[in-house]
Amino acid sequence: MRKLFKATLLLLTAIQITSAQSVDYNSYNLMPWPKEINLGQAEFIVKEDFTVSIPKESTKRLRAAATRFLRRLSGRTGVFFEKGFPQQKENTPSLIINVKRRGKLAIEENESYTLNISVNNIMLESETDIGAIRGLETLLQLATPKKDHFYLPELVIRDSPRFPWRGLMIDVARHYQPIEVLKRNLDAMAAVKLNVFHWHLTDDQGFRIESKSHPKLHELGSDGQYYTQEEIKEIVQYAADRGIRVVPELDVPGHASAILTAYPELGSKKDTKYNIERYAGVFDPTLDPTNEKTYELLSDLFKEVASLFPDPYVHIGGDENEGKHWDENPEIMAFKKKHGFESNHDLQTYFNLRLQKILEKLDKKLVGWEEIMTPDMPTSAVIHSWRGVEEGLQPGESLIIAAKKGHYSILSTGYYIDRMHDIAHHYLVDPLPKSSDLTKEEQKKVLGGEVTMWGELVTPLTIDSRIWPRTAAIAERFWSPASVVDITHMRKRLSVISFRLEELGLTHLKNRNVILRNIANGYDIDALIKLAKVCQPLQKYSRNKGGTEYKSYSPFTLFADACTTDAPDAFKFDERVNTFVVNPKMSKKLLEPMLHQWVENHEGLLELNGKTPLVSELLELSSALKDISAFFLKVLKQEGVSKVDSNEFMKLMTKVKEPYADVEIVAYGTFMKLFTYLKKNEL
């Protein structure tokens, strides 16, 4: 390899990106960014004769991964490869994959790889086939177009993850997600080197596992929407083929409406008819921890789960049990007294410890949401930290406490993507911030983190657009060195990673227009697209509280479902305003087209209105955007802001701030910034 520049990532900061080698590094949209990358100047050109060799004693997993790699590289480059399958006896292969052994799906497993691209060939070397699978994804991200060909840049990458537990949780209870949704998300997870799929399988709104020991569970608790055991095995295999562990969650003793719909006799409130819950929220139905039959059922169930999921970890939930039905039940109260339990928390500890024993017999370790961390809980239990400011706690507080106590722990606070925060918000949350005072030994207890996709407001149509692309950036947090924190660089890479995920069937980009076509009833959707690009769904959980209250069967085909976080035109406008306030004379003409567009767009929406009833509620948004845009156009033209304008502005901004149709205009802050500048500078 010639002329290699050394520039390991630990040194790569925002400043260095703009330095001499910046052009090169900026050409490659790697995510997660590798631990160490040394870039050369030559190119390996992708041509018809491209071949891949795999070891003679290759695992089926590696062979399948190499075949998928060939399909994706061919599909992306349009090059017709002569050999469509990896070879085991190839004379001069283009890509040589060397692997020492089959990888285990375990926390301690080696996922590192080395990638060495030269003009004539590519070496991918790793201890395990899982490492090679990670490296193949890096290689695909490196395929770069020029005018006449795609090439892979000369380089050496030495890469390994910062955290061993890099997860995505998908809640399939609030809305069932068919296995093809899970499969494409597993593909996307593998593309960004995530390695744990946490499958939230039961909740008040549905019990989604076929139980052979207690079939009433899925028959009565799922509206017919559950995974057969064959399907579960298929997903576990599909994940394993991509080096992804699957951790199942059965959320108990709370969140139990669906279980109790099938087995009301195990509920803490007696003689009640339980029903599958249709709303979102925290509900009272809770398993009776004093009933031995509860443990009999759970014992049978965990036995089935243990045989379906080879992973050593099982998640028992354990969150948000407020114990209302326990307090109301005299027998449970008596039980507490008899056992000397002072609080419901003690009673839940008793319950958790019973479960812990059941799981121990099955050779499984327990994971639970942070509420399970009580003094008696053995440190073998993994603590899943989730509460934060909204729950009156410091974010990640429980993670630190758990590590100090000697528990393994994983962080989800800060990664609640269903709250619809923008990407920068999540990207900077670190499971092990520099500020933490953990010892080195304690730091090792922090296994990593999990993105949580709660399912109240998502269906198969929209779920991808909530998970992606933001989860790719969070995956970088879990994999890459802590020093990789340049938001501008991340955003630039993320925009490429995002559309590349489409090759795996992800629908986050393409389904927006599907929703808008439905709203427009087949008429032109341009005006809707333009409005959607500056709006976002209400953040946190205000979508489902403030205005509409959603049931599981409510329509999720609305304008809010077509909008995403990080609204692109709002972001673009903000960037332009930032340029403007630095150099108003030169960049005024950047602002005006966007403002004009928003003024004109209202006409387009008015035209649609009248053809379909789904547009009328958007007119308020669109008209607020039009009015404020017209205001700024007037001000920019007059080149001055009078006192009258100031009052007019505040009146208009009141309208801009107002949410409609469960969305809000994101540019509020930018408008404020622009106005403040204009007023101060009286241009």
Q: Which residues are catalytic?
A: 320
Whole-number Å distance between alpha carbons of 605 and 626: 11
Whole-number Å distance between alpha carbons of 99 and 21: 32
Sequence-distant (6+) residues with CB within 8 A of 203 are 171, 173, 174, 251, 255, 257, 258
Distance of closest approach, residue 92 Cβ to its own copies, in angstroms: 21
DSSP 370: G
Name beta bridge partners: 209: 227
**Looking up tokens 């387009």, which residue turns up?**
604
Torsion of CA 319, 324, 326, 329, to 10 degrees: -160
Q: Which residues bind its own copies (CB under 8 A)?
A: 64, 67, 70-71, 74-81, 84-85, 145-150, 178-180, 223-224, 228, 230, 278, 460, 495-496, 499-500, 502-503, 505, 507, 509-511, 513-514, 517-519, 521-522, 548, 550-558, 609-614, 616
Whole-number Å distance between alpha carbons of 244 and 194: 7
Closest to its own copies by CB, 121 or 495: 495
Closest to its own copies by CB, 177 or 670: 177
**Looking up tokens 């285990």, which residue turns up?**
104
Q: Is 413 helix (H, G, I), strand (E, B) or coil?
A: coil
**Looking up tokens 């301690």, which residue turns up?**
108
User: Do residues 197 and 186 make contact, with C-beta atoms less than 8 angstroms apart?
Assistant: yes
Q: Are strands 150-159 and 144-145 parallel, antiparallel or unpaired?
A: antiparallel
Distance of closest approach, residue 548 Cβ to its own copies, in angstroms: 7
Closest to its own copies by CB, 339 or 545: 545
Amino acid letter, residue 620? E
Distance of closest approach, residue 600 Cβ to its own copies, in angstroms: 18
Distance of closest approach, residue 196 Cβ to its own copies, in angstroms: 24
Closest to its own copies by CB, 229 or 291: 229
- List C-alpha distances in Å: 224 to 228, 233, 461: 11, 19, 19
User: Do residues 449 and 167 make contact, with C-beta atoms less than 8 angstroms apart?
Assistant: yes
Distance of closest approach, residue 149 Cβ to its own copies, in angstroms: 5
Name beta bridge partners: 249: 200, 315
Closest to its own copies by CB, 238 or 326: 238
Closest to its own copies by CB, 233 or 588: 233
Closest to its own copies by CB, 114 or 511: 511
CB atoms closer than 10 angstroms to residue 49: 11
> Measuring CA to CA, which residue among 110, 133, 233, 108 is closest to residue 187?
133
Q: Is 151 helix (H, G, I), strand (E, B) or coil?
A: strand
